[in-house]
Amino acid sequence: MSEKEYVVTLNKGVDYAQFNQEMIASTGAGNIPNRTVDVADARALSTRNTHYALTDAEAESLRNDNRVTDVQLRPEDRDDIEIGHDAVQTANFNKSTSDSGDYRDWGKITHSFKENKYGTSTSLATNPYDRPYSMDGTGVDVVIQDSGLQVDHPEFLDANGNSRMQLIDWYAASGVTGSQSSNHYRDYDGHGTHCGGTATGLNFGWASNARVYSVKVGGLEGSGDSGGISISSCFDVIKGWHENKPVDPKTGFKRPTIVNASWGYSGSIGSSFSNITSYVYRGANYNSSTPGWSSSTSYHRDTYGFYPYYRGFVYRYPVRVASVDADVEDCVDAGVHICIAAGNNSFKIADSTDPDYDNVIFWTSSNNYYHRGSSPFDTGAIIVGATDMTPQNATTERKTSFSSTGPGVDIFSAGENIISACSTQTRFGNTPYFGDSSFKQTNISGTSMASPQVCGVGAIYLQADPSLTPAQLKSKLQADALPVLKDESNDANYGDTTDICGGYNRMLYNRYSRANPFSSNIFGLRKKDR
């Protein structure tokens, strides 16, 4: 009998103690194994994800238990998926201090002024620094859950030159069992520093006076680096730390916590679409015997909306990991606000009411729900798609060709060619930080870049009202966004790459010069100089 370490994820509200007792008591009742099952990892802060030593047959049987969401190998042990972020450098970036300075706020300006849009490839519309707002994220904690942060980057200073980075031992602060590597506070990839700069940077960011925290996720580190917190703990530590925060006597609430998670899981069908063996699409089965079946990319894209991205000489698709999604859900339930990149797969992310919710793709001996996006994911989090730097027309913005779309995406934000900070040790091209070769900045495209836009603006909303729940913040952000994206009204087929497949067609401009979304006039008090 060969056992493996499986993660059993329970449905929300299930009595964990009872379930666990059955698992370790050799009951053999229902789908429970007829033997004492070893607990490989009982997580103190998560009673929905417990690691058990199971045979493959026992795991398959447990999947049929009505208390169980899913039974999966630990994400770290699965050879069919990988964790990563797929942001890419899409254009040359050679700006210097001799330029007018437009580029440093690329992406940010479009949110402040709808009429500006993105300008041209080399310059922006007039008055690039005419951004009247006074909120800067004071009193809010922003957590960048990514490849790490370059902690000494000038973008993470305040206006007086003091660091806003908070270096803490996440395990000690949260009560989660584990140890944190000394490599935790560095970024050998560059992606995390870029996201952090967009959300909280002194020059590039929105919440330029928020406290900044880094949770380095295991598997997202750059080449030759290590020291990230495991997937099994990366949300637990945030949840535990937030729950341990004291109440601020000035506000009567805890300091708000908002997280940016610009990463996800993907799997591979290999180098050819011919590896796809069948679909279940809107309740019907399709395979190679179906009239008109084709292995071409255009067939799968136009007919079924399955359009994976090509990376590393293979086609990749988003993958859902039940345990990760449950951790996100529990974190949101604890009052933590989480912004998640929708993914760069051009997929339609469906919700439970959508006709595509139960679509399944099969390849060789594996299958996955390709339309539900990748983990991390939760309906209580804010799922962010990316808009293109080129408008659809004079009045309509469009999503990028790569951005996931559909009802599962909550809001769109600028995500192409975004200029922000970058670490000195990076896989991305970079240029000196405003002429200082000791530090770097660069432009990157992806939903990874759109999500921290929303995270930073969300921090400003939380500064104004720290009582906002995650659901209330999402609602306010959506209400203040503008319906300026192309919306395909008939999504029986997926249409071109610029439509949003009947999803939430709102772009986060967040025009600070407009009427304040809150009761008092907190915006428009002064121009914020950079």
Angle between helices 447-464 and 191-200 (to 10 degrees): 30
Q: Where are the domains of the chain?
A: 4-73, 102-268+298-480
Percentages of the chain per state (helix, strand, coil), in multiples of 5: 20, 25, 55
CA 282 to chain centre: 27
Decide: residue 13, CB within 10 A, 0-12 exposed, 13-18 middle, 19+ buried. exposed
CA dist 442 and 95 (Å) reads 9
Confidence (pTM): 0.90
Confidence of residue 127 (pLDDT cuts 50, 70, 90): very low
Q: Which CATH architecture has domain 4-73?
A: 2-Layer Sandwich (3.30)
- What pLDDT is attached to residue 67? 96
Encoding tokens for residue 76?
Answer: 């770290």
The CATH homologous superfamily to which domain 102-268+298-480 belongs is Peptidase S8/S53 domain (3.40.50.200)
Q: What is the pLDDT of residues 324-354, one digit of tens each?
A: 999 999 999 999 999 999 998 878 888 888 8
Higher pLDDT, 194 or 360: 194
User: From its phi and psi, is residue 110 left (phi > 0), alpha (psi between -120 and 50) or beta?
Assistant: alpha
Average pLDDT over residues 51-74: 94
**4-73 against 102-268+298-480: fold identical:** no
Per-position DSSP letters for 374-411, written without gaps between them = -SS--TTSEEEEEE-SS-SSSS-B-B-SS--BSTT--E
Confidence of residue 317 (pLDDT cuts 50, 70, 90): confident
Q: Which residues pair with 176 in a beta bridge?
A: none
Q: What is the pLDDT of residues 460-518, one digit of tens each?
A: 989 988 999 999 999 989 988 888 888 876 555 565 667 888 788 888 876 543 343 33
- What pLDDT is attached to residue 114? 52
Nearest to 243 by CA among 167, 166, 330: 330
Q: Where are the alpha helices (DSSP H) in 54-190?
A: 56-62, 108-112, 170-174
